[in-house]
Amino acid sequence: MKLPNLIFPAHEFSTKSIGNKKYLFDNFRKKWIQITPEEWVRQNLAHYLVSQLKFPAGLMVLEGSLKLNGLPKRFDLLVYGKGGLPVLLAECKSSAVKITQSVFDQASHYNIVLGVPYLLVTNGLQMFVCKINSEAKEYAFLEELPEFGLL
């Protein structure tokens, strides 16, 4: 599988092959993860947040679970703020998947449970960031995601 170049700065990953499957070492979960197109985007986004936007790696959760209307769901990336509350939810898709309204809907549904002020959706080729005002039930698209200290 040829991995595409993404909009995030290049990052060197530790990789290995087992049989015909490729794996990378996930520094956040501290284990080897099979490289899929979606995982490639998730890993590159996570490293971008840490290296470029100064997000603390220790406050990030990759592939976590939540319950939505009693059903188990999995989010791609969640970042907690210094006060212990979640501040950013990211939904990652393969670079072959177009960012559509249904991708935003998926992230928005998860945010019913999480209540983050920032939503991010990306396929590694495009990235959209929204700032959510839950009290006013409004959102605004941002040109870029602020550094962690400005969230």
Q: Hunting for tokens 């603390």 — which residue is that? A: 56
**pLDDT band for position 12 (50/70/90)?**
very high
Domain annotation for the chain: domains and CATH numbers = 37-145 (3.90.320.10)
Q: Tokens standing for 144?
A: 């870029």
- Strands 118-122, 138-142: pairing is unpaired
- Residue-wise pLDDT tens digits, 40-97: 999 999 999 999 999 999 999 999 999 888 889 899 999 999 889 999 999 999 999 9
1 falls in which pLDDT band (50, 70, 90)? low
Q: Are 35 and 3 in contact (CB under 8 A)?
A: yes
Residue 2 has pLDDT above 90, yes or no: no
Q: What single-letter amino acid sits at 26?
A: D
Q: Within a 13 Å sphere around the CA of 5, how many CA atoms are in the beta-carbon half?
A: 2
What are the tens digits of pLDDT across the range 89-137? Answer: 999 999 999 999 999 998 988 988 899 999 999 999 999 999 998 777 7
What does DSSP say about strands 118-122 and 60-68: parallel, antiparallel, or unpaired?
unpaired
Task: Taking residues 31-44, report their average pLDDT.
Answer: 96
CA distance to 103, 108, 126, 143, per residue, from 100 (Å): 5, 13, 11, 18
